[in-house]
Amino acid sequence: MNALLPCHMDNAQGLADPNGKNRQCAGAAIFRTHINADVSDCLAKLPEDKEKVFANEAELVAHHAGVSVEKAQKHLDDVGMDTLIAIEIHAAMCKGLVEPLPPNVN
Kindly provide the b/e burial profile for residues 39-65, where b requires at least 16 CB atoms within 10 angstroms of the residue's own CB. beeebbbbeeeeeebbebbbbbbbeee
What pLDDT is attached to residue 94?
85
The DSSP H or E segment spanning 93 is helix 81-94
pTM of the predicted structure, to 2 decimals:
0.68
- Alpha helices, DSSP H, located in 44-80: 57-65, 69-79
Question: Could you tell me the residue ranges of all domains in the chain?
Answer: 3-100
Nearest residue to 5 (alpha-carbon basis) of 34, 36, 32: 32
Measured in residues, the chain has a length of 106
Contact 16, 22 (CB under 8 A): yes
What tens digit of pLDDT does each residue of 57-82 get?
Answer: 999 999 989 999 999 999 999 999 88
Distance from C-alpha of 93 to C-alpha of 53, rounded to nearest angstrom: 23
